[in-house]
């Protein structure tokens, strides 16, 4: 029998039992629509998630690691860190072991400190100096307005955040008579005057407060008169664009971590040389030995690894966070919920498959005599098998087709009307995340559903078809 003849025969048989065929197709249709809709919810979430990830692609590969305790919890009165036994510390070895986690590109410690700057006739108390390994700065994804970011080999070089310059004040001026350009609320950025051309003005830096106290270069002697003021030339190699993070990155000054640690060490030497009462005069680079970093920055090679690397680091006993972490956790929760729904959809599809098998077995019983006649007048076994398999596959396929159409309608309704139980999680709105359509039916999903429904039909029809081919022509022809 040619394929066309088999098809015609199948359609004829299906039309002969219109209601039964319709009901069976309806079952497959509902099953397919259920599973397609459930998957479409998942796809929509994934797509939205991916879009948000892409928006923050650079950041997404950065993981911030810090100690698992509140800052200062184990600080004693002398501000020395005292660690209980067994608490993991962020030292060089630990940074190295982070770098060896699969998927990690590099790991760099981060320290923070403060220094005094002078670009005559201005001075600055910079409280927000970030010490990092200069060669990793390029991976932080910070946009440069002028110059460059730090690079390997930089020592007394700094990069200014977009509004870090606003901390400069006129030498000799004191609060409340200072410029306070840093604290002007509601004034647009471009209306705040720039005092220091940081890229060009010669600049010096010191850990000694006396450096900025007078209007002259003359070192002011301490009461003890013991030590001179030490200061260092510093190059501003770059100025960052504003990231919108006015109180964060924009105010920071980036510096080589080794240089910052060196200044810290020099400060300690100076500090130890004088009496405790004079400690006030020195800048507050936090007294933290370098084997206990405040932060470690970990960069992964691809955002796919971000979540798993963060998890690994948390297992080591640290806190790890990355942009979009909360979103990730939210998505994971949603995904779980949707898997449950998809399972329900799958159950309805299994029931539909049983429906097909039942229909086909009924058809074999009903057509036993016809099968016998066809065998006697020359139908090959393969003809009979094809006839039944095609019929069940077509029931599956048409069920799938109508199911996909139904799910498209359903998806449209979900996306365009307010469906009570589909309202977005208020958490998302609180986190400032824009919520898109809840359902996304892709062409790929439609195609897969069609093929899958057809296969379900074929599989369900296999045993009935085998039964039909195994029928004895003689017995079949005698049955009534």
Partner 1 sequence: MAEYLFDLRGVRKIYRMGEEKIVALEDINLTFEKGKIYCLLGTSGSGKSTLLNMLAGLEKPTKGSIIFMGKPLEKLNETQLALYRQRYVGFVFQSYNLLPTLTALENVTLPLTFRKVKKRERIQRAKVMLKAVGLGNRARHKPSELSGGQQQRVSIARAFINDPQVIFADEPTGNLDTRTTFEMMDLIIGIARERNQTLVIVTHDTEIAQYADQVIRIKDGAVESITERQAVLPGEADTKMTASIAEEIVENETENGGNENEN
- The residue (of 16 and 326) whose beta carbon lies closer to partner 1 is 16
- The residue (of 210 and 367) whose beta carbon lies closer to partner 1 is 367
- The residue (of 50 and 478) whose beta carbon lies closer to partner 1 is 478
- The residue (of 15 and 444) whose beta carbon lies closer to partner 1 is 15
- The residue (of 204 and 385) whose beta carbon lies closer to partner 1 is 385
- The residue (of 133 and 375) whose beta carbon lies closer to partner 1 is 375
| Shortest distance (Å) from residue 26 CB to partner 1 | 23
269: which 2 tokens? 């030497």
- The residue (of 325 and 473) whose beta carbon lies closer to partner 1 is 473
| Shortest distance (Å) from residue 13 CB to partner 1 | 7
- The residue (of 218 and 480) whose beta carbon lies closer to partner 1 is 480
Contact positions vs partner 1 (CB under 8 A): 1-2, 5, 12-13, 16, 369-370, 373-383, 473-474, 477
| Shortest distance (Å) from residue 416 CB to partner 1 | 45
27: which 2 tokens? 């079952």
| Shortest distance (Å) from residue 39 CB to partner 1 | 39
| Shortest distance (Å) from residue 422 CB to partner 1 | 47
| Shortest distance (Å) from residue 414 CB to partner 1 | 43
| Shortest distance (Å) from residue 24 CB to partner 1 | 18
- The residue (of 46 and 383) whose beta carbon lies closer to partner 1 is 383
Tokens 């060196």 belong to which residue? 262
| Shortest distance (Å) from residue 477 CB to partner 1 | 6
| Shortest distance (Å) from residue 391 CB to partner 1 | 13
According to the 3-state scheme, what is the secondary structure of the chain?
A: CCHHHHHHHHHHHHHHCHHHHHHHHHHHHHHHHHHHHHHHHHHHHHHHHHHHHHHCHHHHCEEEEECCCCCCCCECCCCCECCCCCCCCCCHHHHHHHHCCCCEEEEEEEEEEEEEEEECCEEEEEEEEEEECHHHHHHHCCCEEEECCCCCCCCCEEEECCCHHHHCEECCCCCCCCCCHHHCCCCCHHHCCCCCCCCCCCEEEECECHHHHCCCCCCCCCCCCCCCCCCEEEEEEEEECCCCCCCCHHHCEEEEHHHHHHHHHHHHHHHHHCCHHHHHHECCCCCCCCCCCCEEEEEECCHHHHHHHHHHHHHCCCEEECCCHHHHHHHHHHHHHHHHHHHHHHHHHHHHHHHHHHHHHHHHHHCHHHHHHHHHCCCCHHHHHHHHHHHHHHHHHHHHHHHHHHHHHHHHHHHHCCCHHHCCCHHHHHCCCCCCCCCCCCHHHHHHHHHHHHHHHHHHHHHHHHHHHHCCHHHHHHCC
- The residue (of 109 and 372) whose beta carbon lies closer to partner 1 is 372
364: which 2 tokens? 């074999």
CA distance 438 to 428: 13
| Shortest distance (Å) from residue 380 CB to partner 1 | 4
């Amino acid at each position: 029998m040619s394929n066309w003849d088999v098809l015609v025969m199948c359609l004829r048989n299906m039309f002969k039992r219109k209601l039964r065929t319709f009901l069976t197709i309806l079952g497959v249709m509902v099953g397919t629509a259920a599973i397609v809709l459930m998957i479409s919810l998942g796809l929509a979430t994934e797509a939205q998630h991916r879009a948000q990830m892409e928006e923050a692609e650079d950041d997404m590969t950065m993981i911030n690691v810090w100690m698992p305790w509140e800052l200062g919890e184990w600080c004693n009165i002398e501000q020395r860190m005292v660690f209980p036994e067994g608490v993991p510390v962020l030292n060089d070895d630990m940074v190295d072991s982070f770098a060896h986690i699969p998927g990690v590109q590099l790991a760099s410690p981060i320290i923070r400190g403060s220094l005094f700057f002078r670009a005559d006739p201005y001075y600055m108390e910079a409280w927000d100096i970030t010490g990092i390994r200069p060669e990793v700065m390029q991976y932080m994804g910070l946009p440069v307005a002028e110059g460059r970011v730090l690079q390997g080999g930089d020592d007394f070089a700094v990069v200014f955040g977009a509004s870090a310059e606003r901390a400069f004040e006129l030498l000799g001026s004191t609060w409340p008579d200072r410029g306070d350009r840093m604290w002007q609320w509601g004034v647009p950025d471009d209306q705040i005057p720039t005092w220091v051309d940081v890229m060009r003005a010669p600049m010096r830096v010191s850990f000694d407060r006396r450096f900025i106290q007078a209007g002259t270069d003359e070192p002011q002697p301490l009461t003890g008169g013991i030590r001179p003021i030490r200061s260092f030339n510093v190059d501003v190699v770059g100025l960052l664009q504003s990231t919108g993070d006015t109180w964060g990155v924009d105010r920071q000054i980036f510096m080589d971590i080794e240089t910052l640690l060196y200044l810290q060490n020099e400060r300690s030497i100076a500090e130890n040389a004088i009496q405790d009462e004079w400690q006030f005069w020195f800048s507050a680079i936090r007294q933290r030995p370098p084997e206990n970093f405040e932060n470690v920055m970990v960069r992964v090679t691809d955002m796919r690894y971000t979540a798993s690397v963060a998890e690994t680091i948390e297992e080591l006993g640290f806190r790890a966070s990355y942009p979009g972490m909360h979103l990730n956790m939210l998505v994971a929760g949603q995904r779980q919920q949707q898997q449950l729904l998809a399972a329900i959809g799958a159950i309805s599809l299994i029931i539909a498959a049983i429906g097909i098998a039942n229909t086909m077995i009924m058809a074999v019983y009903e057509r036993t005599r016809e099968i016998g006649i066809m065998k006697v007048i020359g139908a090959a076994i393969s003809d009979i098998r094809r006839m039944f398999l095609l019929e069940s596959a077509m029931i599956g396929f048409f069920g799938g087709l109508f199911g996909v159409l139904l799910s498209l309608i359903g998806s449209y309704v979900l996306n365009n009307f307010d469906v009570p139980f589909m309202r977005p999680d208020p958490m998302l709105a609180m986190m400032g995340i824009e919520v898109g359509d809840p359902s996304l039916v892709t062409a790929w999903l439609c195609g897969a559903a069609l093929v899958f429904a057809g296969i379900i039909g074929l599989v369900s029809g296999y045993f009935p078809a085998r039964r039909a081919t195994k029928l004895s022509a003689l017995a079949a022809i005698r049955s009534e």
